[in-house]
């Protein structure tokens, strides 16, 4: 049986929240990618909503910056560190 494809609207929303979180860190795309150990092209695919952020990378973002999967996947900011939550909210607006 073929694997179901994720909803494109869901992926786009995840990409927007991911980029808001990246902006809240104060890093540009290149420096953020370096910090989490991925290429800029891979990050660009997530940001554009072409692909979902894999769990292992999401775990790195949590360890490095406090960016939670709750924020990336559902938009729930409650688990974000206070120092990041306000910045993420402003960047997402």
Write the pLDDT tens digit of every residue in 15-66.
999 999 999 999 999 999 999 999 999 999 999 999 999 999 999 999 999 9
Q: Specify the pLDDT at position 1.
A: 76
pTM for the whole structure: 0.90
Which domains are delineated in the chain? 8-92 (1.10.260.40)
Write the pLDDT tens digit of every residue in 64-84.
999 999 999 999 999 999 999
State the Cα–Cα distance between residues 47 and 27, nearest whole angstrom: 15
State the Cα–Cα distance between residues 2 and 4, nearest whole angstrom: 6
């Amino acid at each position: 049986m073929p694997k179901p494809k994720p909803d494109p609207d869901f992926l786009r929303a995840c990409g927007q929240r991911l980029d808001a979180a990246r902006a809240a860190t104060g890093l540009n795309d290149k420096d953020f990618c370096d910090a989490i150990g991925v290429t800029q092209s891979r990050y660009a695919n997530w940001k554009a909503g072409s692909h979902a952020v894999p769990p292992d990378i999401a775990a790195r973002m949590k360890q490095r910056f406090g960016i939670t999967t709750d924020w990336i996947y559902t938009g729930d900011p409650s688990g974000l560190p206070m120092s990041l939550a306000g910045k993420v909210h402003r960047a997402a607006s």
